[in-house]
Amino acid sequence: KLDLQGRAVVLAAGALASPRLLMASGTDAWPQGGADSSGLVGRGLMFHINERIAIWPPRDAPPPSPGPLKTFSLRDFYAYKGDRMGLFQSLGLPADYGNILYVLHERYDASMLGSLGMGREFMRIPALIAARMLGEARVFAGILEDLADDANRVRYDPDRPEMLLYDYTMSDELMARRKRFRRLLKSRLKGVRSMWLNHTPELNIAHPCGTLRFSDDPKRGVLDRDCRAHDLDNLYAVDGSFMPSSTGVNPGLTIVANALRVAEAMTRRLKEQP
């Protein structure tokens, strides 16, 4: 057993691990987990939905010059006719054999042949042919915002503490908005050679957030506006778990900026205390 003490404790294990740590820290005061009088620890999990598409340069375009590839991003679709959509950006990846094979495996697994477990290895042949045909195509992605739902959550099983468990269901609203997002992207790419690289919805598991969301109301959030726990006056969380919305962009810079903001607020508070 190791006991650690401090005037302030900062939790920054990530939106998947931070709530699990609190859920594993139950006491008589919080039998369901630390700082969880709201019952919201671990709830509201968001990821984003990725829509990957290969785009060819115009036939008369000059040969590509060497240099950075992940340099292009559009906010034109972030909010469109009342819909919350997201960014469209380059991924810096070629539409090569590996990426195409991934797409073919995905479509195969969703087919009747996939349910029978037959012929998956033969997908390598069309992937190789397609890679030759695609040539200079590059991979782009639309990042679609998913909205917070308390049914989507991180779980903790004390009998399997090493297991990362979560529940996530794509709502009918998200699926309908995804269709509109894909139609919008394709319509704006009219006249440009392009091909979808994913058929089924694809969770961006690198963007988890929302599992210790902040709110001025202790009944609606785990943290206050300075990301201090409503139930523990010296506990702060500064990872992506604080976010009440996933937005339609990579959350990395938002997390960093918020952590700096929280650090200033925490420092002021500690200086004011005797």
- Is the pLDDT higher at 73 or at 116? 73
Q: Where are the domains of the chain?
A: 9-44+209-272, 49-62+69-203
pLDDT of the residue at 1: 66
135: left (phi over 0), alpha (psi -120 to 50) or beta: left
pTM above 0.85, yes or no: yes
CATH code given to domain 9-44+209-272: 3.50.50.60
Residue 103 has pLDDT above 90, yes or no: no
Pick left, alpha or beta for residue 92 (phi over 0 → left; psi -120 to 50 → alpha; otherwise beta).
Answer: left
For residue 8, give the amino acid letter. A
Strands 235-237 and 138-144: unpaired
Q: How far apart are CA 150 and CA 246, in angstroms?
A: 14
Average pLDDT value for residue range 90-116: 78
> pLDDT tens digit string along 210-257?
999 999 999 999 999 999 999 999 999 999 999 999 999 999 999 999
